[in-house]
Structure 1
Amino acid sequence: MRTAVLLLALGLAACNPAPEGEPVITTEIGGGSDDGAEIASPEPASTPMRASDCKPVSFEGARLTHCIADPAKHAITTDLGPDDGAPYRSFAALSSGRGASAPPVAFAMNGGMFEASGDPVGYYVEDAERLVELNRNDGPGNFHLKPNGVFFGSNGSWRVLDSETFYRTVGDRPQFGTQSGPMLVIDGTIHPEISEDGPSKALRNGVGVDAQGRAHFVISESPVSFGLFARYFRDEAKTPNALFLDGNVSSLWDPASGRRDARAPLGPIIVVETKQ
């Protein structure tokens, strides 16, 4: 059922491609200013039981939270919603929907841009099932600011690639995958359309993979420019390739610290689980 709904949504998107977000966010790099205020996370979360894999950091005067997934102790999956059901749209619903036998959640983040329904705008794979094909369309908004990219992986091997390289070189379907855009860092170089410190500022989150194969998830705690955000991935996380996941709806669930953001309805969710 969910596959059919997603294919219908993709067909509608091809006729009227949505640039990103919930609701669809039309702000483009360098255009205007997103006056996104810092928002508290009012939902209660479970009592902390272990050390967090996320830590607060400061970079060029901005406050960020940096979470690291290590293949030696973590697994990564994507989760849109229950089987044959509508998207979860929140971490609370995701938490309630996970079975008692599910591995512990180390942390989770919103995982890519989506339609107003919560369905993905671009490529989306969950449990090795491709629910939405790679979106190579042109259009407005950050998603279509080429090159965009895909975060994907199987069996503890995780990668970020720009969408055209992914299209040309990845033949086997991964266990999970999500497409978003734009790329922040491409082969060690910041996206050519990202200015050093443009006027567009928003809450932002993204993901990159370092040379050791660890996935770095970063979320800003107040509005930041694309330039600052991209530099953090290049210079501090040291990820040769990094992908912007979304802005303003950017949210983190970190059970160990008691944080569970509830600032806006979500679409695809990237879940980092603790191996048992």
Structure 2
Amino acid sequence: MPTMLRTSAAIALVMLLVGCAGPRVDESSASPSVTTPSASGSETPFIVTTTEPAKQVDPDSAVQPYEFEGVRFSVARLDLSQWDIRVVWDGEKGGTYLGEVDGDVLTNAGIFTPSYVPGGLLVSDGQQLVPLNLNGGEGNFHLLPNGVFAIMDDGTAEVVDSVDYSPDGVMQATQSGPALVLDGVIHPAFTAGSTNVAFRSGVGVSADGRTVYLAISDDLVNFDTFARMFRDGLGASSALYLDGQISGLWAAGAGRDIDLLLQPYAGIIAATRKG
């Protein structure tokens, strides 16, 4: 049974429709809406949970506490010579719980709809289960540029702008948005010192594609600080926002057993130690 770095403390049903004209940074406590290829207009966001950090972490755990500019995070640094990473989603049964997936480090994949369908591209073990979503719309997913996190058949990883995505050689992938950092450049819509803060999760990749960083904030954080944490703190050349309040990051030996996993996801990023 995996152990949890952040755990649900309360659940609130949020019925919020985004009504402004044009994409914007949605940094509220509500999960953003997604316009999928089969949908018209925005969808109602789904159940949101508030969270708190684990109080103890085993020093041998893959996920460790990390602090950047006074904001606390939990971070897994995964050398792909030592780790296998998959993207898992059971599309037939709807949402997938972290506790249902094998792995030493587990986190949610990208933003999804209320019916637990990924908001954009999802590739698992070389099979495309959901197509790339280049639709316009509201909410964080559609704040361009958004991006794709992918594991390639040569064992490297990448985060690319969705419009530059190519399926060649892709074994695992999840699409989300906004892209936090692309080739060292922070998303142009982010504002330093923004007071719009939330819990956030994301994935970053080193310049050589051989290290993946999975991170979740244990404190409220704005997008600019979150992006700079990946680039300036961890040294990632590119990074992608995964989701907000509902996010979770679990690791074996991280100091807290999970008795009940309340939040299903439409896609899980699962990392397993090689050997």
Q: TM-score over 0.5 for the alignment?
A: yes
Which residue of 26, 37, 52 maps to 2:61?
52
Does the C-alpha gap of structure 1 residues 263 and 247 become closer, same or farther in structure 2, counting only changes over 3 Å?
farther
The answer on 1:241 being equivalent to 2:238 is yes
Q: Which residue of 1 aligns with 2:10?
A: none
Q: Which residue of 1 aligns with 2:95?
A: 87
- Unpaired segments ≥5 residues, structure 2: 1-34
Higher helix share: 1
Query: Structure 1 stretch 254-263 or stretch 120-129: which is displaced more?
Result: 254-263
Distance 1:239 1:115 in 2: 28
Post-superposition offset of 1:196:
0.6
Q: Which residue of 1 aligns with 2:217?
A: 220
Which residue of 25, 39, 60 maps to 2:52?
39
Q: Using structure 2 for the length normalisation, give the TM-score.
A: 0.78
Which residue of 162, 177, 183 maps to 1:181?
177
Q: Which residue of 2 aligns with 1:22?
A: 46
Percent identical across equivalent pairs?
A: 35
Post-superposition offset of 1:86:
3.1
Contact 2:37 2:135 in 1 (8 A): no
Contact 1:38 1:223 in 2 (8 A): no
Query: Structure 1 stretch 50-59 or stretch 190-199: which is displaced more?
Result: 50-59
Contact 1:18 1:121 in 2 (8 A): no
Write out per-residue CA displacement over residues 212-257 of structure 1, whole angstroms, 9 at most, x where no aligned residue. Answer: 4200111101211111101101101111111000110110111121
Does the C-alpha gap of structure 1 residues 10 and 196 become closer, same or farther in structure 2, counting only changes over 3 Å?
closer
Post-superposition offset of 1:91:
1.4
Query: Structure 1 stretch 235-244 or stretch 252-261: which is displaced more?
Result: 252-261
Write out per-residue CA displacement over residues 136-166 of structure 1, whole angstroms, 9 at most, x where no aligned residue. Answer: 0110000000000000012421100011121
Distance 2:163 2:257 in 1: 34
Contact 1:138 1:144 in 2 (8 A): yes
- Where 1:175 maps in the other structure, the secondary structure is strand
Aligned residue pairs, count: 235
Distance 1:92 1:259 in 2: 13
- Where 2:104 maps in the other structure, the secondary structure is strand
Which residue of 204, 207, 213 maps to 2:200?
204
Q: Which residue of 2 aligns with 1:62?
A: 71
Contact 1:22 1:118 in 2 (8 A): no
Aligned-CA RMSD value: 2.5
Amino acid of the structure 1 residue aligned with 2:194: G
Distance 1:122 1:260 in 2: 32
Post-superposition offset of 1:37:
5.2
Q: Using structure 1 for the length normalisation, give the TM-score.
A: 0.77
Write out per-residue CA displacement over residues 97-132 of structure 1, whole angstroms, 9 at most, x where no aligned residue. Answer: x5xxxxxx2201111000112110100111111111
